[in-house]
Every structure is written in C-alpha cells, then in structure tokens.
Amino acid sequence: MEWKTFDGKIINQNLQNLVKQTIIRETDLGFRLKVCIGTDSRVHGLISEFATVIVFLREGKGGFMYINLSKENIKMSLRQRMLIEVSKSVEVAYSLCEILEQYKIPLEVHADINTDPQFKSNVALKEAMGYILSMGFIFKGKPNAFASSYCADYVI
C-alpha cells in the first residue's frame, strides 16, 4: 500500500514505523491523540476508486491524516462496495492496533454507512457493524463517521 500525506507527499516507509514515529512525535509535543480510520469510494463506470484514511486527532488542537488511494475494476453492488470499504479500514486498523494499544491511543473504525434505514447505504449496516465490532474495534457509522464520510470523501 502506498500512503501519502494530505499535500500529496509519498511516504516511503513501512506504515507501522510511520505510525509509531507519528505517535512519538505528537506525544512528545504534548498532544493527546485519537486515531480514526475510514474508507470511502466513488464509482466511475466499472471502476471503483477507494480512499482509506488514518486520521490523527489532537485533542482540542485539530488533526491530520495519511491517505491511501486504490482502484477495483469490477462491477459490484452497493452492499459489496460498502463491505469492501469496511474491509479496507479493518485491514489497516488491524495492522496498527498493536502499536496503538502499546501507546494507549484510542482507535475508532468509521464506516461510510448510514444508520438511518431510509438511506441506501444502510443495506450493509448489520454486516459492517458486526465485522468491525467482532474484530474488537469501536464502530462509528453516519452521521458520526467523519473519517470516512468527510476526510476520505474529500480526497477521493
């Protein structure tokens, strides 16, 4: 996976090392952190583009994010696409959970799925919530899933 900063700079190091260095730098500066991971997607014909973000929130002092962009070239249903978004977020969260636990950094996994049944994305809510919670992560869906609904949405 290739990760970038918000300004487009490519990060040429292992994601775990990057996150560890980020935590050390930010805590040395006196910030209390929380990490939120989310993915959003856009469909262009048969191509689905995905943006996964790792958002570092500095308690009371804003935040920043790292971004991964990817594409899938297959036709899929809305439910499939929502679950792929969730699986991309869970994969990243799982790869970082040991480091975050070591430094006692809270982690949330955000799904771009509406908790209101009148919205189309709600079709995947039960599966997505079950997957995230069964992996031991805190689940956030719309309207509280800003990492996927705003941050990832902005960069896709």
Give the pLDDT confidence score for residue 122 in this predicted structure.
86
Taking each helix axis as running N to C, give the angle between helix 15-28 and helix 78-102, from 0 to 180 degrees, rounded to the nearest 10.
60
Span 120-149, pLDDT tens digits: 888 899 999 999 999 999 999 999 999 999
61-73: average pLDDT: 96
For residue 48, how far is the Cα from the chain centroid?
17
How many other CB atoms are found less than 10 A from the CB of residue 99? Answer: 18
48's tokens: 């689905």
d(CA 73, CA 103): 38
Span 25-65, pLDDT tens digits: 999 999 999 999 999 999 999 999 999 999 999 999 999 99
127's tokens: 């599966």
